[in-house]
Amino acid sequence: MVVGMLGLLLPACSLDKFPTNQIVLEEAFQTIEDAARFNTGLYNELRRNSHSIFIGTSEMMSDLFNARQEFGNRGGFPHRLQTDFMGSYEPRDIWGNVFGSIAQTNFFLDGIVNIVPETTAQREAIDNFIAEAHYIRAKLYSILATHFMYPYSVANRNVPELGLPLLSTFDLHARPGRATIAETFAFILADLEAAKNINVDGAQNSTRITRDAVYALKARVHFMMGPDNRALAAQYANAVIETGRYPLVTTEAALRTMWTRDQSTEDIFRLHVTATSFGTSAQGAGANWNDHTTWTTNNMQAFSFFNAGLNAYQPDFIPTQTVIDLYGTGDMRLGVFFSDPTEQMVHITVPHPGVRILYKFRGNTDINVMYRHFPRVARIAEMYLIAAEAGNSLVRLNELREARGATPIALGDFERELRNEWVREFVGEGFRIKSLRRWGAENPANALTHWGLNDGIRTPQDPTAVHNYGSTEFTHRVVTPADFYRFTLPIPANDIRNNANMRQTPSWVH
């Protein structure tokens, strides 16, 4: 099994005998069956980096959610954006998990070349495994780029040591420094170029990497690379849309099924999950709130946690009223993505009348484990919004809005409503911070305005301000610029200490 193998992948201690408790490259890859098993393991690696803290952390950091008074400081460091965030487990676990998976991918790519195919079918299978591994590494690096790098720009793209350590081979002793941002994106795009040899056609709800999934990731990566790459981003996004394979759902029932059963015409690529994929806890992995190891595996429950013992919802984070007010009459997403406010009054432990909670991640009822979903790596709604923003296309924006039952918008409202549409469609899915950083400007209120009940929510504060949310007063107003340096996660302190070549992101050095 690939997962957890890194501790075993050590050099042999003699020339004629391999230790019985270690796996070395030459022994790991001998047959096509070996390659297939490792390939399955790489899908597992991608899955564990595609949910939970990898999307939930940035939502906690954003202006879209407030912490309830009873949230117990779970997710408190990212939510408050404190300097103590440098020692918090979120950046440590995102960085460590993703680089661990990159190491597994490199081990696979280094080893699979040792297999000599015996048939044409085996040669084709090996070529496809290699292409999939390049896609997986590109995806993993794009996750790191989203969290740990400044946004791509002409001013910073070639500045030394602002990018990521680039690892193309497996080496437990490697201590690489950081590349530039431009070099990091070139590395990602080179992997996506190698992934073009994937031989699986696109299909709805695919749990295998497809050519359409490669195009979707190319669209996202070029979109991340600033205005000079927007034409390519729109080109790739439109190419996926124009296959016609992923029609937008147009009914509330279909949208609800998409989030309660993981069945939809819109999923380009998602990862298979079972009731035991992340542990066997009845509440889903992460039921032990005091155990960070389990909580980080499924912390999306922070937005809709249900306490079975109390028969009550106890979410740590609730969406702001500003988010709820974005959904106009007829927009089916309000009723599907969020709880009914009257239900919330009945079930929430400490009632906040009129408050809704995010319902997206309550769990797939077919899996029958709370908070368990098929992580969506690529879905067509993102392609519509990339095509709209990168291609300046009012048509694409309105196609998405009309599918969701929302009223088409006029050209004069395009920029404002496009930005709002990213929230309406992707609330809770980890898009807000990267959207604000991409725009390089504040939100329509000219700041990330955040309201909270607890002291020290963020700085600066205005303790005299009052914001009514239902019947609750949030008394701390926070104004944070969209280019705030703490939206770029710090390199974990342990990696700085153990690697003399690693440099901290400059804004985090005090």
Q: Give the model's pLDDT for residue 457.
A: 31
Instruction: Note the Cα 322 to chain centre separation in Å.
Output: 23
Measured CA to CA, the distance from residue 290 to residue 76 in angstroms comes to: 13
Measured CA to CA, the distance from residue 94 to residue 461 in angstroms comes to: 29
List own/partner pairs for 33-39 with CB under 8 A and 24 or more apart.
34/115, 35/112, 35/115, 35/125, 35/126, 35/129, 36/125, 36/129, 37/1, 37/2, 38/2, 38/108, 38/111, 38/112, 39/108, 39/129, 39/132, 39/133
Q: Give the model's pLDDT for residue 453.
A: 39
List of residues 6+ apart from 392 with CB closer than 8 A: 414
Measured CA to CA, the distance from residue 385 to residue 422 in angstroms comes to: 7
Measured CA to CA, the distance from residue 231 to residue 170 in angstroms comes to: 35
The β-bridge partners of 67 are 317
* Vertex 487 angle, CA 106 and 477, to 5°: 155
List of residues 6+ apart from 42 with CB closer than 8 A: 2, 101, 104, 105, 108, 132, 133, 136
Phi, psi (rounded to 5 degrees) for 125: -65, -45
pLDDT mean for each 10 residues of the chain (510 residues): 37 38 69 96 94 89 79 78 76 94 97 95 97 98 97 94 97 94 98 95 96 98 96 98 98 96 95 72 36 46 79 80 89 94 64 75 79 89 98 98 98 96 96 88 40 34 36 49 83 92 89
Q: For the stretch 128-159, what's the b/e string if a residue is b when 16 or more beta carbons lie within 10 angstroms of its beta carbon?
A: bbbbbbbbbbbbbbbbbbbbbbbbbeeeebee
- What CATH architecture is 1-193? Alpha Horseshoe (1.25)
The class of domain 200-272+374-439 in CATH terms is mainly alpha
User: Strand 476-480 vs strand 461-462: parallel, antiparallel, or unpaired?
Assistant: antiparallel
Number of neighbouring beta carbons within 10 Å of residue 187: 19
Q: What six digits make up the tokens of 439? A: 């725009």
Tokens 């590109």, residue located: 138
Q: Give the model's pLDDT for residue 307.
A: 75
Measured CA to CA, the distance from residue 237 to residue 231 in angstroms comes to: 10
The pTM for the full model equals: 0.88
* Vertex 246 angle, CA 121 and 371, to 5°: 90
Question: What are the residue ranges spanned by the domains of the chain?
Answer: 1-193, 200-272+374-439
Residue 500 near residue 175 (C-beta atoms within 8 A): yes
Same fold, 1-193 and 200-272+374-439: yes
